[in-house]
Structure 1
Amino acid sequence: MKIAVVGSYGAGLTMRVPRSPAAGETLAGGEFSEGPGGKGSNQAIGAARLGAQVSLLTAVGDDAFGAAARELWQAEGIDASHVIVGTKPTMVGFILVEPDGENRIVIASGALDELDADAVGSFSAAIADADILVVSMEIPEPAVIAALRLGREHGTTTLLNPAPARPLPDEAWPLIDILTPNQTEAPVLLGLPADHGLREADLVAELGARVAGDVVLTRGGAGALVLSGGVVTEVAAQRVEHVVDTTGAGDAFTAALAVGLAGGADLVDSVRLAGCAGAHAVTVLGVIPALARRADLDLPIGENA
């Protein structure tokens, strides 16, 4: 199972708070922690822990956060030889986590702004060699489009995790084999207003009419809707007793989905595996500790599982 990931790395500065402060309010009682993050890096680590060979393209600064990232990728067995060292600082994300596990995130993108189409071109061989290309959208749009286009040119299955969401340009839609928005990202991709009034099934249909392949609409505790071959399948959520932290659940889901597909499972079964990984993630505090290993999941992984 070979997976190429084009996405972000950043340092996550997390504050657990009794509640989110109002505008202008100073709130005491927070608990601070620091750790690695960024959707691309998280997804790469999640896929590697589930048994895939992973190559990562991102950009970091020439700073302590960037050095820590390289140590992490080496420890997790990820090929980071193509990672760009930019002139700006490594991306930083500030995360507020409330007692019920809900989170709010603000990002300073830094070196990621320097991840351009030329940098993606240098990653072409890794994309060509992969079973699945995973792209997320914390990086500049030209890099997203360039990665998807290379995936299409090389015949590599492209999976776009459209987070953080923004309207997709027309040229992107035919380059996507699998699109995985959540229920708030889907209308943004379509350029719809907040009061669009469409049901989730309608959103899936609208996305399916534009994308070249399949759609997975994730709905947190309500599971997922999968549109494949014109058929919509509802995949139930995996139940957990207590939600601790939802921060890394989406990345855990994406990583396991890619691993399932790279291992030869069909889309619905891969979504079930991804749901198990996402459910595991919400029971563990912190993003990297929450990314599952094979032994943490109940479903088989890969052709030889």
Structure 2
Amino acid sequence: MKQPRITVIGSINMDLVTETPRVPTIGETVLGTGFSTLPGGKGANQAVACARLGAQVTMVGCVGDDGFGAELVQRLQEENVNVDYVEPITHASTGIASIVVENGDNSIIVVPGANHAVTPEKVQQAEEAIKQADVVLLQLEIPLPAVAEAVRIAGKYGVPVVLNPAPAIALPAELLAGVAVVTPNEYELAIMLNRNPEQTEDFHELLQMYSGVIMMTKGGDGAYYKQQDGSVVHQPGFQVNVVDTTGAGDTCNAALAVMIGRGADMAAAVRYAVAASALSVTKFGAQGGMPTEQEVEQFLGQIKE
């Protein structure tokens, strides 16, 4: 099977996870029950997932000149991700996500830090990596001008772009026009199209509003994808024992990009992506649960059509 070349341009964070029986009120101190530091950031997560699924991956992003930055770069290298375009930024802190877990519910504060230093100029420095890629994979945890520049350069060389529009913002039509496949969840789809997700139309109507190719993820229900001819197809989810859903979306996006890089059609690519996502929730941690190519192939081989 072809080893696709994927260039991921995006965020690199350290997740600081505190577990507590309850969140303290202002001025109060409570005793927590656990603490861990886990590599994260949508960009880095998707890069790791692509590498485990058999792709040749180049990561483009920024970290701080601190201990977290050095550790995250080392983690990416250990996952066989090329970090030639990951730049340590002097006098900047590495991006972090402070996550408080209270009885399974998350409260998250994200401090972008060095991720804000991913500028259009930084993206231009990685033009060769974009040119050589089979797919460019993007998210929105770096500044939008950098995302737009990546889309522009990829278009210059005819490289397809997969855009995961998270965190959700309304996106310019000219940016979306340069994207091969956009991959929102239902909430992100409404925001992306500048609609109120609380007062939105049925998601089928939203899918029809978007003129391009789209894969909308829907948790345990799998995914719905719209093709160029306007038809919408449902890929059902796969039943698994859920341990931790963190990173499922990143795994799904990575798997889709890998399959597009291999030349698969949307039906095969989405089915593979939903299967990889299902496997990812059977283990703890965003990157910890990401499956290998062999695991996904074995899983799909056991499913009766």
Q: Could you tell me the TM-score, scaled by structure 2's length?
A: 0.91
Distance 2:113 2:59 in 1: 18
Q: Determine if the alignment matches structure 1 residue 2 to structure 2 residue 1.
A: no
Match of 1:303 in 2: none
Q: Are 1:183 and 2:186 an aligned pair?
A: yes
Q: Which whole-Å CA distance do the structure 2 matches of 1:237 and 1:191 have between them?
A: 28
Helix, strand or coil: the match of 1:288?
coil
TM-aligned CA deviation for residue 104 of structure 1: 3.9
CA–CA distance in structure 2, aligned partners of residues 163 and 23 of structure 1: 30
Report the equivalent of 1:231. Answer: 231
Is the contact between residue 18 and residue 32 of structure 2 (CA under 8 Å) also seen in structure 1?
no
Q: Which runs of 5+ in 2 are unaligned?
A: none
Cα deviation code 1:2-38 (max 9, x no counterpart)? 101000000011134456x486476645321111111
Task: State the Cα distance separating 1:98 from its structure 2 match.
Answer: 5.3
Match of 1:96 in 2: 100
Change (3 A) 1:26 1:146: same
- The letter of the residue matching 1:112 is N
Write out aligned runs for 1:81-120 (5 A).
Answer: 81-87=84-90, 88-97=92-101, 99=103, 103-120=106-123
C-alpha separation between the residues in 1 aligned to 2:207 and 2:141? Answer: 23
Deviates more, 1:22-31 or 1:215-224: 22-31
SS in 2 for 1:165: coil
Provide runs of 4+ in structure 1 moved above 6 Å: none
Q: 1:124 to 1:283 in 2, by over 3 A?
A: same
- For 1:98 and 1:249, the matched residues in 2 are separated by 20
Question: Is 1:42 the counterpart of 2:42 in the alignment?
Answer: no
Rounded Cα–Cα distance in structure 2 between residues aligned with 1:104 and 1:53: 34
Query: Does structure 2 retain, via aligned residues, the 8 Å contact 1:180–1:218?
Result: yes
Q: 1:28 to 1:116 in 2, by over 3 A?
A: same
Does residue 127 (structure 1) correspond to residue 130 (structure 2)? The answer is yes
Question: What is the alpha-carbon distance in structure 2 between the residues aligned to residue 126 and residue 257 of structure 1?
Answer: 20
Aligned equivalents of 2:221 and 2:243: distance in 1?
A: 17
Q: Deviations over 1:39-63 (max 9, x none)?
A: 1111111101111000110100011
Q: Which amino acid aligns with 2:218?
A: R
Map of 2:173 onto structure 1: 170
Give the % identical residues: 38
Distance of aligned partners of 1:170 and 1:18 in 2 relative to their CA distance in 1, 3 Å threshold: same
User: SS in structure 1 opposite 2:191?
Assistant: helix
Moved more, 271-280 or 156-165: 271-280
In structure 2, the CA distance between the partners of 1:234 and 1:248, relative to structure 1 (3 Å rule), is same
1:146-165 CA distances to partner (integer Å, 9 max, x unpaired)? 01111111100100001111
Q: Are the equivalent residues in 2 in contact too, given 1:128–1:151 (CA < 8 A)?
A: yes
Structure-to-structure mapping, 1:255-270, within 5 angstroms: 255-270=254-269
**Residue among 160, 169, 179 paired with 1:157:** 160
How many residues align? The count is 293
Whole-angstrom distance in 1 between the partners of 2:162 and 2:139 = 9
Instruction: Please report how far the alpha carbon of residue 167 of structure 1 lies from its aligned counterpart in structure 2 after TM superposition.
Output: 0.9
The one-letter amino acid paired with 1:286 is: G
Q: Does 1:136 align with 2:139?
A: yes
Distance 1:28 1:244 in 2: 25
Partners of 1:103 and 1:246 within 8 A in 2: no
Q: Which amino acid aligns with 2:185?
A: N
Alpha-carbon spacing, 1:255–1:179, altered in 2? closer, same or farther (3 Å): same
Q: Is the 8 A contact 1:103 1:247 kept in 2?
A: no
- Deviation string 1:248-301 (CA, Å, 9 cap, x unpaired) is 11111111111111112111211111111111111211112111112321238x
Q: Which runs of 5+ in 1 are unaligned?
A: 301-305
Where does 1:193-232 land on structure 2 (aligned, <5 Å)?
193-206=196-209, 208-209=210-211, 213-229=212-228, 230-232=230-232
Q: Distance in 1 between matches of 2:141 and 2:193?
A: 18
Provide the secondary structure at the position in 1 that maps to 2:240.
Answer: coil
SS of 1:70's partner is helix
Q: Secondary structure at the match of 1:8?
A: coil
One-letter amino acid of the counterpart of residue 275, structure 1 = V
Asked if the contact 2:190–2:200 (Cα under 8 Å) also holds between the matched residues in 1, the reply is: no
